[in-house]
Amino acid sequence: MSLPKFILGDNTEFPNAIYVIHTEFPRFIINLEDDEVEWFEDFDREDEKELEGETENAIKEATEFYDNEVAKYDE
């Protein structure tokens, strides 16, 4: 199955939370309500520095994805 890079998610048990799921490496879910990130990857110490910039970019892209999706509903 082919998945999109980002998927929006919500849950009625957490009505204020807005989740964006990043399906490519490094895989994570970010809650845009509080910017909390849950990782689906285990990182070694050596990986941390290499992934730091990549992770910042992925989180920025997740936020932009959400903003673009919401803007489509406002049209």
CB atoms < 10 A from the CB of 12, how many?
5
DSSP 13-28: TSTT--EEEE-SSSPE
Query: Would the pLDDT of 21 be above 90?
Result: yes
- pLDDT average, residue stretch 32-40: 90
Higher local confidence (pLDDT), 5 or 51: 5
- Give the range of the structural domain holding residue 11, as residue numbers without chain letter: 6-74
Structural domains counted in the chain? 1
pLDDT tens string 42-72: 877 777 777 777 778 888 999 999 999 999 9
In a domain, 67, yes or no: yes
In a domain, 1, yes or no: no
Higher local confidence (pLDDT), 48 or 7: 7
Residue 38 phi/psi, 5-degree rounding, is -115, 120
Query: Would the pLDDT of 7 be above 80?
Result: yes
